[in-house]
Amino acid sequence: MVPISLEGHDSWSEVFDWLSTYADHDPDWTDGYLAVLCSREAKLQLWTYDAEFRTTWRKPDGAAIPLAIARK
């Protein structure tokens, strides 16, 4: 496992834009950070129990966030 960071990118504004897009769903900073991070790292898959990553949240470009374990 290797730590991943958005450091060095204009990530703050991109995360705030994402948070604004989903404001009516009450996302938190971590939701936005992970969505933006997934858009920057093509091979990244997210492991989460948060169902909104499967049903609601999308990458900033509108694509689905790849999940490490797909729910059947």
Please count the structural domains in the chain: 1
Annotate 35-67 with b (16+ C-beta within 10 A) or e (fewer).
Answer: bbbbbeeeeeebebeeeebeeebbbbeeeebee
The answer as to whether 46 is a domain residue is yes
Report the range of poorest mean pLDDT among 3-7, 16-20, 60-64.
Answer: 3-7
Amino acid at 5: S
Q: Which structural domain range is residue 20 located in?
A: 11-55
Which pLDDT value is given to residue 41? Answer: 83
Q: Any alpha helices (H) in 1-72, and if so which ranges?
A: 11-21, 29-40, 52-55
Please give the angle made by the CA atoms of 14, 15 and 17, to the nearest 5 degrees.
65
* Residue 22: inside a domain: yes
The string of pLDDT tens digits covering residues 26-66 is 999 999 999 998 998 888 889 988 999 999 999 999 999 99
**Domain-located, residue 65:** no
- Any domain includes 4: no
Q: Is residue 36 part of a domain?
A: yes
Give pLDDT, residue 44. 87
Asked if the structure places residue 15 within a domain, the reply is yes
Is residue 69 included in any domain, yes or no?
Answer: no
